[in-house]
Structure 1
Amino acid sequence: MKTRINAGEANDWLEILLDLKRKAVGIRFLFDKSDYEKSAAAERNGTVPYCTAVRSASEGKSIKLHLGNFACLAAARALGLMENDENSRSGKRHSDMGVYENVLVSRNIAKDMVYCGHSVYGIEIRPLEDYREYNPDIVILVTSPYNAMRVVQAHAYSKGQLKNIKMAGMQAICQECTSYVYERNEINLSMLCSGTRCVAQWSKDELGAGIPFQQIGDVIYGLIQTVNPMENNSDKKLIQEKLELKGKDLGFEIEYNKNYYTGVFVSSNSKK
């Protein structure tokens, strides 16, 4: 599984190995008008926030957007559809909104935001399962903390700790889950932000994870290899059922009543 994997295979494995309530979402940058016109995703009439489009894709709807469709210009700047402006770079925009104590803090956060360094015509936002003829650039999961933990454990299995998690609870889907992930080629987690929780209506118990698609094979490999040491019996049973349903196997037997913490914890009674 550490070899290259296509989007359809990746989606199958993510659905088997994680208890996803939403579909995994693939993001692909469309660098020019020709790329945009070739995309099979549906065009948008009018405007929509980028994060709302991601929400729609997590519910099975594909869409492509150009600058004229962006209801949130902060997302357009983060993703490379328009240049960043001085009001944002200086920190004044968010300082004036009152989300940071003063312009110095706001300026520091603005400097740390990682926006796409390219200039693109549009962006394609589709359920990962819809990508067949090509692969996306980024995979976004809006999911439970448990699933995010499993992604981190999967990465740690062969790559070690995630050392550069970057979050401020601002521009969550566009910057923390997309542009930062793309520019740094690193997995990132996001607690989401008040804006996206309002317009995209995410649940309070959901968070975001952005994964470079080129790393998805390593993540799936790590998820597979850590099923026995990390998962409890009920989750192992669910994985087993989904494996049988999709006609796949892990290459080894799932072991019940055994994981890395079996017998590790000492009860208070045993100390007496």
Structure 2
Amino acid sequence: MKNTNVWKMTTALDLQHRIVGLHFLDFQEDYDNCKAEPAALKGPYCYQVRQALDGKHFKVDKNLVTCDYARAAIGLEKPDISMREGRSFDYCGLAESRAIGKSIADAMMYIDQDIFGVELGPLEEMEHADLVIMVDYAHTMMRIMQGYTYKYGAPKNLSFYGNQAMCSDMTSKVFHTNDINLSLMCNGTRRYGKFDKGELAVSLPINMFDPLSDGIIETINAVQSVPEKKRLIKTLEHSNRPGCEENSAVGKTDPESLAQRPRTNDAPDFAGRSGKRNSLGLEIDTRYNYGKGLLAYDNHVLDLRKKGDNGL
């Protein structure tokens, strides 16, 4: 699903991993009917997510997720009361007191609903997805948040503190808030997921994926550096956009995508307000950045003031 925007985001951000889709399988019937095979190995939830980031497509139930805190966070089993009340965080040294441990546990937003299993895999291979997970470095997270802010304004539900990264930060919290969240990762995620110490994670509900893709594309000219823009132009010269598919926002709004012609930067495929656009849907301008735009606006305001504009 969403092949076009997966390609757009992967190309624009130069992602190092696949974009992962996550689909909750509420009942055993859903799990049994899911076409994905069970995970090849048991492992912590963060290990399973890493497998999906590396391109594997599979499903897991509680027997394939070996971390009890992860099973509790994503709804595969009910948490022990000491876990729910945060006593274990105090006991193990993650919180200074029981009260602080309780506040941490409450903020984890464990899923109360019974979930039989979870399907994980590259988003473009999924028939259905509830959440989207991406992992990359800080610069990429900056670009993702710039794209989010372009479409939605300031984020209001960011919550992370270096514990239960994949199961809580990237899954249960996003499920509860229906909003984007970042994660600094946790020791377990970095160890079992074999992530570099500089990598971060972001997750969002599937309904935000298409607008986020659009926001990232629309902010390229404003914030990308000249070398980054040139890298992108060169990439587009040797890369074709996927054809239209159901669930793609671009496929629904771009009639020319129906032709499924090869689209390159040398042969722009459709016109827009800024002139000819490439296969990302944007004319990349290496001469422009938002600093120039701000300067032009400031000069415009100064000119209006000199003319005695009463609104200023």
TM-score higher than 0.5: yes
In structure 1, what is the equivalent of residue 180 of structure 2?
187
In structure 1, what is the equivalent of residue 221 of structure 2?
228
Q: 1:73 aligns with which of 68, 73, 93?
A: 68
Give per-residue Cα distances to partners, 1:74-122, cap 9 Å, x unaligned. Answer: 1111111111221112211111111111212111111121122321110
Q: Determine if contact 1:30/1:36 at 8 Å carries over to the other structure.
A: yes
Q: 1:30 aligns with which of 19, 25, 28?
A: 25
In structure 1, what is the equivalent of residue 287 of structure 2?
257
Q: Determine if contact 2:151/2:212 at 8 Å carries over to the other structure.
A: no
Asked if 1:149 corresponds to 2:142, the answer is yes
Q: 1:108 aligns with which of 80, 103, 125?
A: 103
Give the distance between the partners of 1:255 and 1:7, measured in 2 at CA: 27
Q: Determine if contact 1:188/1:210 at 8 Å carries over to the other structure.
A: yes
Pairwise CA distance, 1:19? 1.4
What amino acid is the match of 1:191? Answer: L
- Taking the TM superposition and a 5 Å limit, the aligned residue runs for 1:111-126 are 111-126=106-121
Query: Over aligned residue pairs, what C-alpha RMSD do you find?
Result: 1.7
In structure 2, what is the equivalent of residue 176 of structure 1?
169
Structure 1 or 2, whichever has the larger Rg, is 2
Q: 1:237 aligns with which of 219, 223, 230?
A: 230
Pairwise CA distance, 1:129? 2.6
Give the distance between the partners of 2:124 and 2:35, measured in 1 at CA: 14
How much identity, in percent, do the aligned residues show? 33
Q: Determine if contact 2:163/2:185 at 8 Å carries over to the other structure.
A: yes
Pairwise CA distance, 1:263? 8.9
Give per-residue Cα distances to partners, 1:167-199, cap 9 Å, x unaligned. Answer: 111110111011111111000000001111111
Give the distance between the partners of 1:56 and 1:252, measured in 2 at CA: 33
Give the distance between the partners of 2:41 and 2:15, measured in 1 at CA: 30
What amino acid is the match of 1:79? Answer: I
Q: Determine if contact 1:53/1:63 at 8 Å carries over to the other structure.
A: no
**Partner secondary structure for residue 261 of structure 1:** helix
Give the distance between the partners of 1:13 and 1:264, measured in 2 at CA: 27
Give per-residue Cα distances to partners, 1:9-46, cap 9 Å, x unaligned. Answer: 23111112111111111111011122112222221355
Asked if 1:21 corresponds to 2:16, the answer is yes
Q: 1:58 to 1:45 in 2, by over 3 A?
A: closer
Q: 1:7 to 1:73 in 2, by over 3 A?
A: farther
Output the TM-score relative to the length of structure 2.
0.78
In structure 2, what is the equivalent of residue 3 of structure 1?
none
What amino acid is the match of 1:119? Answer: D
Q: Determine if contact 1:10/1:220 at 8 Å carries over to the other structure.
A: yes
Give the distance between the partners of 1:28 and 1:263, measured in 2 at CA: 41
Q: 1:263 to 1:139 in 2, by over 3 A?
A: closer
Pairwise CA distance, 1:264? 7.3
In structure 1, what is the equivalent of residue 49 of structure 2?
54
Give the distance between the partners of 2:4 and 2:198, measured in 1 at CA: 28
In structure 2, what is the equivalent of residue 209 of structure 1?
202
Query: 5+ residue gaps in structure 2?
Result: 241-262, 264-277, 296-312
Pairwise CA distance, 1:214? 0.8
Query: 5+ residue gaps in structure 1?
Result: 1-5, 266-272
Asked if 1:87 corresponds to 2:82, the answer is yes
In structure 1, what is the equivalent of residue 269 of structure 2?
none
Give the distance between the partners of 1:113 and 1:103, measured in 2 at CA: 15
Q: Which runs of 4+ in 1 moved over 6 A?
A: none
What amino acid is the match of 2:161? Answer: A
Give the distance between the partners of 1:31 and 1:217, measured in 2 at CA: 25
Q: 1:118 to 1:241 in 2, by over 3 A?
A: farther
Give the distance between the partners of 2:234 and 2:59, measured in 1 at CA: 35
What amino acid is the match of 2:83? Answer: S
Asked if 1:127 corresponds to 2:122, the answer is yes
Q: 1:233 to 1:135 in 2, by over 3 A?
A: farther
